[in-house]
Amino acid sequence: MKTIKTGVIGTGFIGPAHVEALRRIPNIEVAALADIDDETARTKAQMLGIDACYGDYRELLAREDIDVVHVCTPNHLHYTMSKEALEAGKHVVCEKPLATVSGEAEELTALAEQKGLINAVHFNVRYYPLMSHIRQMVEKGDMGKIYSIHGSYLQDWLFYDTDYNWRLEPELSGDSRVVADIGSHWMDLIEYISGQKITEVCADFATFHPIRKKPLNPVETYSGKMLKPEDYADISIGTEDYATVMLHFENGAHGVFTGSQVSAGRKNRIYFEMDGSRKAVSWESELPNQIWIGNRDKGNEVLLRDPSLVYPDSRDQISFPGGHNEGFPDTSKQMFRQIYTAIREGKQAKKPLYPSFRDGLRELVLCEKILESSKKRAWVSI
């Protein structure tokens, strides 16, 4: 089997996670890395054990032997880099969001499809194997008609006004924060498992820290010591700390989710309950290896992630036996396995199981409509 060569652009939190996940899959070589300048690129390449490195991503794109590019940079760079990668004839796996505005995402989607290149956005939550099983429960009619879907995505890493990160700056991250960063994962997951598109939204946003304190020097410098008042600058925050969005779906189902980055004790917790006319099902990502299935006329069920207990089509996403828990790092591995299978086949399905640029575009459209609804204090159609 031919080894596919891949280049990764960006080595913050998520770039190395891509590298690690890719290496778990046989016959893929992470051949090159690009970062913001030569020195950063060299340091990270050594740390990660990657042969080639570039301070300018265009040099990476120029390499003929590289077939696939992973774009893992801050949000505002996704559009340009993905576009140039496609133009260089590379398959592209882009971090979410695909762009900062839907128009750019539309352009990327069209370009990728026109060039016949594999294109994917890293909505990895779909790849907790039980999510695939739920999708099949829905498809096979186990759930009956879907009535309602409600849930939340809660974090606490921006709990204090002294918590700071580039995601707080709209010019780097976009005009929405909670909905774009984490709400998009929730919506992508829900549309994926339910097979239903959202048709209307009604949103309520809140910013509990309208002023945050930005460290004046890079945060790494300060690690391990106390910051003093004069080390900070007060910055106005325009993006939301909290959002609740009510939803209508194409089949008549109703829903709602709450996203928050100021929920103490919730490190990164995705939750949903989907109520159907036959069963209900719920999942929380802090216990990712089990789902709850609700029944009216018999006991409820707790199904563990076990290859022998899920539908055959979901087995392929499980590498380890029941009770041998898998987690967050395994989702990217399973996602990349499907994407690279498509790369070997040279052709993207019309509706691939993995999230394509079309899904990345979808989330940008949803976010824009949700922002509009929040401003209008009214329902908005998609």
Contacts to its own copies from residues 174-213, by CB under 8 A: 202, 204, 206, 208
Q: Which of residues 220-259 bind its own copies (CB under 8 A)?
A: 241-242, 244, 246, 248, 252, 254-256, 258
Cα–Cα nearest to 211, from 235, 238, 180? 235
Q: Which of residues 55-94 bind its own copies (CB under 8 A)?
A: none
Cis-peptide into 97, omega within 30 deg: yes
Position 265 contacts its own copies (CB under 8 A)? yes
Only one of the segments 56-64, 146-154, 191-199, 228-236 lies at the binding site for its own copies (rule: CB under 8 A); that segment is: 146-154
The two beta strands, 68-71 and 4-9, are parallel
Phi, psi of 272 (to 5 degrees): -150, 155
The two beta strands, 52-54 and 68-71, are unpaired
Which pair of tokens denotes residue 279? 């069963």
Residues belonging to the chain: 382
Which pair of tokens denotes residue 364? 């940008």
Position 330 contacts its own copies (CB under 8 A)? yes
Q: Rounded to the nearest whole angstrom, what is the least distance from the CB of residue 108 to its own copies in the complex? A: 27
Position 340 contacts its own copies (CB under 8 A)? no
Position 295 contacts its own copies (CB under 8 A)? yes
Q: Which of residues 21-60 bind its own copies (CB under 8 A)?
A: 23-24, 26-28, 46-50
CA dist list (Å): 250 to 93, 138, 197, 213, 373: 29, 15, 6, 43, 18
Only one of the segments 20-28, 86-94, 104-112, 165-173 lies at the binding site for its own copies (rule: CB under 8 A); that segment is: 20-28
Stretch (H or E) spanning 360: helix 357-376
Position 264 contacts its own copies (CB under 8 A)? yes
Position 7 contacts its own copies (CB under 8 A)? no
Strand partners, 198: 249
8 A C-beta contact, residue 359 and residue 123: yes
Position 294 contacts its own copies (CB under 8 A)? yes
H-helix segments, 63-115: 78-87, 102-115
Q: Rounded to the nearest whole angstrom, what is the least distance from the CB of residue 304 to its own copies in the complex? A: 6
- Size of interface with its own copies, in residues (CB under 8 A): 92
User: Of 64, 220, 323, 350, which one interacts with its own copies (CB under 8 A)?
Assistant: 323
User: Of 285, 317, 334, 348, which one interacts with its own copies (CB under 8 A)?
Assistant: 285
Angle (CA) 155-197-252 rounded to 5° is: 105
Position 338 contacts its own copies (CB under 8 A)? no
